[in-house]
Structure 1
Amino acid sequence: MLANDLILFSQVIEFGSFSKAAEANNLTNSSVSKRIARLEKSLGVQLLYRTTRKLTVTEAGSILAMGAKSVQQATNDAISAVSGFGDQIKGHIKMSVPTISGDLLLAEAVAEFCSRHPNLTVDMSMDNKFVDLINDGYDLVIRTGHLEDSSLIARHIIDSQWVVCASPFFINKYGNPETPEDLKQYNCLKYTYQTFGADEWQFKTENQDYFVKVSGSLATNNASALRKAVLAGHGIGYLPRCLVYPDLCNGELIELFKTQVAKKLGVYAVYPFTKHQPQKIKMLVEHIKSQYLAMSHYFVADFSRV
């Protein structure tokens, strides 16, 4: 099996077509097709489904693509080491970030990084869904939550605490719940875009965590919309601290049960496993982490828990 065929396969996946990979390597389409077929024959598996309109990667092809990308990156790194390219930050990065952090700090942080490195371009999508890094072609993803895919590398950046909060208007009108159990008697607005916990809010004692099942008139998958409803005095919310931190500081929202709320999620920089991580990814992750830590008071009440 030739390393060049692995690199060519990686390029076919990246470009999404034989013709573009052929053009990039000054080859004919038939030559690219024959080399991919040779790779499939040597492995004894089908890597791609071919139709007249599109290419679809098989499960085996997806697995091989990760290794092939490493081969391609290792080759590029070896060439860069002697050409001086390795010391530069250039090229393109495709990344996905959550909407709350994107609005709060990542849009500005990534734009600043690009300004420092004018030969670099970044395509940053802001979306809360858990994207498929390999099949969707992402180089870097910022995620909040739990990572289950062991084929990916996840670097912890910071912890994101959640808070229970309500507006002064709501508290004055309906009273202040004295214990988490009292929330069962209040209109609790629910954030549905999460793995669990929309109507089971997590609290803690000295010995253990427990859940309080709540109900309310509004449920939404948009945290910013839920924040507005809570600010308007329509109910009590259970939200990421970073989203409502300015509202807590200026008194537009009141934090309830400060020492008893248990929900805390990790924020991670996630990228495909490779032995030769590009310098541009390493430096961007470092820059992003520094921006999170500079705003750590938005995410955690106790700095020692960052």
Structure 2
Amino acid sequence: MPKVDDLVLFAQVIELGSFSKAAEVNELTNSVVSKRIARLERELGATLIYRTTRRLSLSKAGQVLYQQAQVIAQTSREAFDSVIDFNQSLQGHIKISVPTISGELVLAEAIAEFCELHPDISVDMSLDNRFVDPVNEGYDLVIRTGHLEDSNLVARHILESRWVICAAPKYISCHGMPMQPEDLLKHNCLIYSYQESGARDWLFTRNDTVYPLRVNGSFSTDNAAALRKAALAGHGLAYVPRCLVYPDLQAGTLVEVLPYQVGKVLGIYAVYPYSRQPPRRTKMLIEHIRSRYLDIKHYFNEVDHD
């Protein structure tokens, strides 16, 4: 019967892409790692890994075993981490990346509050709309808005963020209120160029189906705050996350347009690497951040009713 340690080591060799990296992580020699993988192959009676000077590739038997070995390795890590977490004091450093809008709206204050509650924890918060690579760039936690497809990351859903189209009352009074999406083709649409989808393709719903409408306008920017100021000044219609303009909508300095037809809703997630069980301090920060988002969830995802 193969040893569980050998299965975990096999999974690490594949995840890290080389015998030498697995040896380094486990403080073993390359020859010991090779011998243990050879022993695993011998006990199973099958070749698992094809080795060349440049890369490793899995045999069919190796592919089947790797799927199960991943589960075993992850379960082992979580078991050990849970004990470490139990005895772990709340101290240390957390490096986090957050989007600019949420960072300025809620996260700066929320994270500073967390640090005050836990004085032995320090947090380095970077505001960046770019989706950073948590593993290669050394982030313990990333807060991101959007669709996440990377299977190497764990994404904990926090809430939904709805987008709105809005304009200043004086713009509406001069150019009229759009009554259907196609009316936007006659309007100056202010373009937020920092989007994961086409900046000029605004999303709408019709019969429970989301479809894009390509709009045009004289002004575009990758800065959401600049876009908001242009809309407040009456220069056109802006398509932005609702949380950015919530106070303006409440004050009446901006008016929501086509509220029941805009179709862009994105999830906000707390993201960390799949292979790295977050320490207790990071788990607690996630919970703190989530509670602060939920305190102002009405900024993000409610449709105003007149």
User: Shorter-chain TM-score: which interval?
Assistant: 0.7 to 0.9
- 1:81-120 alignment, distance < 5 Å: 81=86, 85-86=87-88, 88-120=89-121
Separation in 1, partners of 2:75, 2:137: 17
Change (3 A) 1:167 1:35: same
Q: CA deviation at 1:136?
A: 0.6
In the alignment, which residue of structure 1 is the partner of 2:167? 166
8 Å Cα contact 2:249/2:256 also seen in 1: yes
Gaps of 5+ in 2: 17-23, 38-48, 58-71
Separation in 2, partners of 1:136, 1:225: 29
Q: Which runs of 4+ in 1 moved over 4 A?
A: 34-46, 67-81
In the alignment, which residue of structure 2 is the partner of 1:277? 278
Change (3 A) 1:208 1:123: same
List per-residue Cα deviations over 1:157-213 (Å, max 9, x = no partner). 000000011111111222222221011011101111112131111111234222221
In the alignment, which residue of structure 1 is the partner of 2:131? 130
- 1:107-256 alignment, distance < 5 Å: 107-256=108-257
Separation in 2, partners of 1:139, 1:283: 13
- The letter of the residue matching 1:220 is T
Separation in 2, partners of 1:122, 1:207: 42
Separation in 2, partners of 1:296, 1:202: 22
TM-score of the superposition, structure 2-length normalised? 0.74
Across the two proteins, how many residue pairs are aligned to each other? 265
Gaps of 5+ in 1: 14-30, 47-57, 61-66
8 Å Cα contact 1:70/1:275 also seen in 2: no
In the alignment, which residue of structure 1 is the partner of 2:45? none
Q: Percent identity?
A: 52
Separation in 2, partners of 1:59, 1:190: 46
Change (3 A) 1:256 1:45: same
Separation in 2, partners of 1:179, 1:225: 26
Change (3 A) 1:129 1:275: closer
TM-score of the superposition, structure 1-length normalised? 0.74
Change (3 A) 1:229 1:70: farther
Change (3 A) 1:276 1:209: closer
Change (3 A) 1:114 1:36: farther
8 Å Cα contact 1:90/1:280 also seen in 2: yes
Change (3 A) 1:79 1:129: closer
Change (3 A) 1:261 1:118: same
Separation in 1, partners of 2:289, 2:135: 22
Aligned-partner SS, 2:107? helix
- The letter of the residue matching 2:117 is R
- 1:54-65 alignment, distance < 5 Å: none
Change (3 A) 1:116 1:207: closer
List per-residue Cα deviations over 1:246-292 (Å, max 9, x = no partner). 00010110100111111100000001114743111211111111111
Separation in 1, partners of 2:296, 2:162: 13
Separation in 1, partners of 2:33, 2:114: 41
